[in-house]
Each structure stands twice: as C-alpha cells, then as structure tokens.
Amino acid sequence: MNKKNGFLIIETLLSSALLGIIVVVCVGSIIYSQQSAVAAGNMSRAVFLAQAGIEAVRNIRDESFYNLQDGTYGLFISETGNKWILTGNSDVTDGFVRQIEISSIDSNKKLITSTVTWQETPTSPYSREVVFTTELTNWKQ
C-alpha cells in the first residue's frame, strides 16, 4: 500500500465520521424542537385551564358568595342553566387535572387557588403544575 492510498482511506474515514456527526446533530435538533413545541403547547393549555378555573369560581361567586364553601373541588358545567358547579375534588380535561381550593380569609373574603397538573409524556414519571391564586370578596354586601 502506498502513501496516496493510505491518505485516501484516512480522508474517507474522517469524512464519513464528520457526516455521521452532522446527521446525528440534525436529527437530535429536530426531535428536541418537537418536544419543546409539545411542552410549550401543554403549558399554554394548563395556563388556560387554570385561568378558566378562577373565572368559573368568580361566576359562582357572582351568583351567590355563599356558594363558595371551603374545600377542594372540580368544576362542571350544568346542562340546565349552563352554569358552573363545584363538584368532586377535581376535574380532568384531556389529561390535565384541575383542582379548585377555596379557603376563608374572613367572613367576606375567600382565597381561591386553581391548580392544573399534567404529565409531559404518558411514560414520564414527573408531572408539571400551574397554580393561580386570587382573593374574592362578597362584593354584594
């Protein structure tokens, strides 16, 4: 084997290795960007559900402040009257679990906490969480 053939083999091996590295990096980037897009979409959905939970409790309060009893609830829209109802201890929407916690600050003020949890992937052992809180008062008094 002469020097020219030896250099050609080395150049071919180096070129192949470099091409392999470039392909792996490109595929990894595509996969990571898809996972990031899914994670961002899930976070947006959770934020929406948590905010909607706060607004639903505000609507319940507007009906009557005394409908807000201390405890942990889920939300449900009644078929008659199309009104929000506090029920159970959570509600589930497409894998997102929402809990509404109501606690008294004083006789005319309640602390409302809307928590939404979900798993990023079905096989993930970790869950993510979004929490919103607000205070609601008995404004009719």
Q: Where are the domains of the chain?
A: 3-137
Q: pLDDT for 98-141, tens place per residue?
A: 999 999 999 999 999 999 999 887 777 788 999 999 999 998 87
Report field, pTM of the whole predicted structure over 0.85: no
- Give me the amino acid identity at 101: E
